[in-house]
Structure 1
Amino acid sequence: MGRYKSFLRQRYRAILGYTGLICLISGLVIISPLLALLAYPEELPLAWGFLVPGAILGLVGLGLWQLLAPKKATSLTLQEGSVIVVLAWLVAILVGTVPFMTIQGLNFTQAMFESTSGWTTTGLSVVDVTKASRLILLYRSIIELFGGAGLAIITLSAIAGPVGSGLTSAEGRSEQLAPNVRRSAKLVLAIYTGYNIVGTIALKLAGMGWFDAVNHAFAALSTGGFSTHPESIGYWDNAVLEIVTIVLMFAGGLNFVTAYLLLKGNFKSVVRNGEIRFQALMVPLCSLVILFGVAIGLYPQLGKAIRVSIFETVTCFSTTGFATVGYTEWSSIGWLMLILMMLVGGGAGSTSGGIKQLRVYILYRSLRWEIRRMLMPTRSVTEPSIWQGERRHFLQDDQIRQIGIFVFLYLILFCIGSAIVAAHGYSLQESLFEYASTMGTVGVSVGVTSADAAPTLLWTQILGMFLGRLEFFTVFVGLVRLLRDTRPILT
């Protein structure tokens, strides 16, 4: 027992050390909006609201990192990675509430909602953007940017030496761009950074000012959706701007492995990728349903109707949450299509949320295989497969079973969350829509989410956003492992 206790303490020194590094990075993220003071010096009196919490979190994180982290990089199991991810995200979200409370004047529940929405790249908001300072608006976009990159990915790129895949797997990014996890993380960050630089310039050229361009590039590529205007992208009513934003949302919702193959010019592997084929079928199909089922009847000009149908399809499929129009006048078929797309979500290993297109595609392939197997001779042997990256993967029963369990659990929690929203007096249609947006980390709203919403409603959405971003198994494994290990360590 004594040897086991000593082993646990040694492992938790490493866990707390790596958590400290993520806290250090999170503290710097909270402080980073102060760079905008060079352009907006009149907001200098607001600086303390970012500087104090960011500095405290950064110093505590630095202390943990220097004192407890192992001198040589230690491989992490999936369970240990889950503990780090859960702890780091909870701390980042909690400390991230401070600027919203001290500067924007939100209460704790509202600030917790806004912080969770930002770090999880959801984009639902209780902030009145017409009255918010530029520092707050930029802060919201920055935490979406870093939340989209993944705190674990950022950490892995900073740790010296090769590190085991436990941390990145706990973030829900099991595929690597390179054999070495640290190099893979650096490639992800390089792609992500390049996206944002190009995206900002493209939005500026399409008609936005620099401040709006920076915020919307961060929000689009993180599939977050925070906007600087209540009307979101609809504020500009600019077709070119919408096209640029659609491209950025597609990029944000794309698996980083697929993006890497595109940059390498390996189009053959991209074309046969299951997720790409799924998108190539579903995006045009859903756009056509919305066009003929909703848009043509509401928007007299054909060009406007086409723009709306394509944009709203992409914003929901990528889980970004930008909007060009409101949905209150949409027909039931339009609401149904948006709900289904928000539930499915974006690509696995991307910045998006939802069930993920890869899981849905695997279930579809498994269904085809099961039907085919029933019709084949008894002794025939066959196995379903999909293409991921440059390799063909044969699907195992345990993988299909785990995906089935995940989807079942996702839908159960979606039903429970929707029921709680409905219990607050909203219609079933509104409740299903809002909670699909919440759990899918999408961010489009039909008016349910607001600053004056009941605290119980906001906390239900906070839980949905957290579980939707980190995925249930990671949260469950991390919390159970933490609770199980705490007693023997302390006794």
Structure 2
Amino acid sequence: MNLNVSINWRSISYVCGFLLLALGGAMLIPASLDFLFFSGRTYMKFVAGLFVCGIIGGTLVLANRCPDRMKLGMREAFLVTSLVWVVLSIFAALPIYWTLNIPFVDACFESVSSLSTTGMSTFTLVEKIPKSILLWRSFLQWFGGMGIIVIAMTFFPALRLGGMQLFRSEFSDRYEKILPRLSQIASSLLGCYCFFTVICAVLYHLAGMSYFDATCHALSTISTGGLSTHSESLSYFNSAWIECIAGAFMIIGGMTLMIFVRIAHGDWRSLMRDKQFHTFLSSIFLCSVFLTFWQVMTNGTPLLESIRHAFFMVISIFSTTGYINTDYSLWSPLPLVLFFIISLIGGCTGSTTGGIKIFRLQVLFTIARNHLRHLRRPNAVFMTRFQGYHITDAVAFSIMTLIILYITTVLIIAISLSACGVDFTTALTGSGAVLSTLGVGIGPIVGLGATIAQLDALPKCILMFGMICGRLELLAVLILFMPSFWRN
């Protein structure tokens, strides 16, 4: 295999260095707050992390700063998309490792889980963790959520991942005049993201959360990460108002953020045109109503309690957030199977959610319907369309490939975990939880209030690999394992 291919490593190193500098700058936030308001015992760990990121990141930027060669081709785009997530996760783990004196694998697990917005944890009692570390995890989720939105709306359409090239046409048609440059698209998305985060934090505080809890949960909610400052998740607060606020912002996090950019630029009809949004809301409503009556009929649960738990849990799992307001493991098997399925579906494209994404299933069902119609009328020609755009064979094949690989990867990760001695239920639901970035499954290891700390290093590494694959739409990672990718 010829590894001396035409890959612009200088550009890749420059991007990694620049983002390391940004990560180091972000460490100032928990360091400053710990020094001023928290225990004052952990800020030096973040300062040390800042210096490490600053030295290495600065060196990479200065050594590879060459305007004539700062170009990212297709290979570089695939590489930098995956490499950035790995590099940032390793360096983001340093303050966690130095503060808690835990194995470095566990520290990396926390950072990968946070940046990928998965929300799975190795911590047994979250309440005993320093506030600076809890805040750092929340910020990592927030950064990861924003990062994947920008990548999904800019890089993935160009890389033609899983049918995302369909959205390149939509962007060029509708945004070229109002947002002609990539930097403007990113800044507009960031503005919407920050706006909803601030509003969510204010509402959480008004509903009874402390300033610290409100901030951490707002960062975690809008990013659909799901990490909490309490082991019992949102059930700790036992507040219907807090759950309503969380539900509303989890739905916002599960929507295409670009819709709000359109609305901000005067395109108020965009919400009504978006078929993903309609399907997302209707699916949440139908599943919630079904589970409400199922709980009433099978368990005799009071109606209002069933409505509260069913709607919250369906929104949380559909948006792949993973917040919990009740011990769902005590429910009958049918709701648990439904939760597993909808977690793999996820939310809308261009959101912070994980999963296969609704638009791909919409296209798949349209293809299946046209195929059945073609069997009935062999001479007829049926066009596959999505939101007014023609679905070419290349786009359809790309979507079907991703769905098949997604299901296959869930099984492969589950089998790998089982080979490490993990029981079948934990292996399967844990595999789905990391690949969908939901973060919670069923059982004492991946269930409500559970911790994967008892697992060995190898299954933890398998789960981390699944998180990165799920966060980066699978194909962006798997293509790096193809020998042809590295050949000229």
Q: Same fold (TM over 0.5)?
A: yes
Question: Matches of 1:362 and 1:373 in 2, distance apart?
Answer: 16
Aligned to 2:145: 148
Deviation of 1:282 after TM superposition, in Å, equals 1.1
Q: 1:334 to 1:429 in 2, by over 3 A?
A: farther
Could you tell me which amino acid in structure 2 is paired with residue 402 of structure 1?
Answer: S
Deviation of 1:34 after TM superposition, in Å, equals 1.4
Q: 1:94 to 1:474 in 2, by over 3 A?
A: same
Which residue of the other structure, out of 459, 462, 473, is the alignment partner of 2:461? 459
Question: Matches of 1:226 and 1:61 in 2, distance apart?
Answer: 28
SS in 1 for 2:386: strand
Contact 2:31 2:42 in 1 (8 A): no
Question: Matches of 1:425 and 1:296 in 2, distance apart?
Answer: 38
Deviation of 1:184 after TM superposition, in Å, equals 0.6
Could you tell me which amino acid in structure 2 is paired with residue 109 of structure 1?
Answer: V
Aligned to 1:160: none
Q: How does 1:393-472 map to 2 (within 5 A)?
A: 393-423=389-419, 427-446=423-442, 447-449=444-446, 450=451, 451-472=453-474
Aligned to 2:186: 185
Contact 1:29 1:143 in 2 (8 A): no
Deviation of 1:330 after TM superposition, in Å, equals 1.3
Question: Matches of 1:409 and 1:47 in 2, distance apart?
Answer: 43
Deviation of 1:263 after TM superposition, in Å, equals 4.0
Question: Matches of 1:377 and 1:366 in 2, distance apart?
Answer: 15
Moved more, 307-316 or 98-107: 98-107
Deviation of 1:18 after TM superposition, in Å, equals 2.0
Q: Which runs of 5+ in 2 are unaligned?
A: none
Q: How does 1:56-205 map to 2 (within 5 A)?
A: 56-71=52-67, 74-127=70-123, 128-150=125-147, 153=150, 166=155, 169=158, 175=167, 176=171, 178-205=179-206
With structure 1 as the length reference, what TM-score do the two structures score? 0.87
Contact 1:82 1:167 in 2 (8 A): no
SS in 1 for 2:121: coil
Could you tell me which amino acid in structure 2 is paired with residue 189 of structure 1?
Answer: L
Q: 1:179 to 1:361 in 2, by over 3 A?
A: farther
Deviation of 1:311 after TM superposition, in Å, equals 0.5
Q: 1:330 to 1:237 in 2, by over 3 A?
A: same
Aligned to 2:230: 229
Contact 2:234 2:325 in 1 (8 A): yes
Question: Matches of 1:321 and 1:218 in 2, distance apart?
Answer: 14
Question: Matches of 1:337 and 1:245 in 2, distance apart?
Answer: 21
Aligned to 1:282: 283
With structure 2 as the length reference, what TM-score do the two structures score? 0.88
Could you tell me which amino acid in structure 2 is paired with residue 150 of structure 1?
Answer: G
Moved more, 251-260 or 61-70: 61-70
Q: 1:72 to 1:222 in 2, by over 3 A?
A: farther
Q: Is it true that 1:207 corresponds to 2:222 in the alignment?
A: no
Q: How does 1:372-391 map to 2 (within 5 A)?
A: 372-376=373-377, 378=379, 380-387=380-387
Q: 1:114 to 1:278 in 2, by over 3 A?
A: same
Q: 1:165 to 1:445 in 2, by over 3 A?
A: closer
Which residue of the other structure, out of 15, 22, 46, is the alignment partner of 1:18? 15
Q: Is it true that 1:44 corresponds to 2:40 in the alignment?
A: yes
SS in 1 for 2:331: coil
Report how many aligned residue pairs link the two structures: 467
Contact 2:320 2:343 in 1 (8 A): yes
Deviation of 1:152 after TM superposition, in Å, equals 8.8
Q: Is it true that 1:240 corresponds to 2:241 in the alignment?
A: yes
Contact 1:417 1:435 in 2 (8 A): yes
Could you tell me which amino acid in structure 2 is paired with residue 32 of structure 1?
Answer: I
Q: 1:357 to 1:251 in 2, by over 3 A?
A: same
Contact 2:78 2:476 in 1 (8 A): yes
Q: Please give the per-residue CA displacement for 1:223-282, whole angstroms capped at 9, x wherever unaligned.
A: 100000111111111111111101111111111222323445644332232211221331
Question: Matches of 1:234 and 1:212 in 2, distance apart?
Answer: 13
Contact 2:207 2:241 in 1 (8 A): yes
Could you tell me which amino acid in structure 1 is paired with residue 302 of structure 2?
Answer: Q
Contact 1:347 1:357 in 2 (8 A): yes
Question: Matches of 1:215 and 1:320 in 2, distance apart?
Answer: 14
Question: Matches of 1:180 and 1:304 in 2, distance apart?
Answer: 49
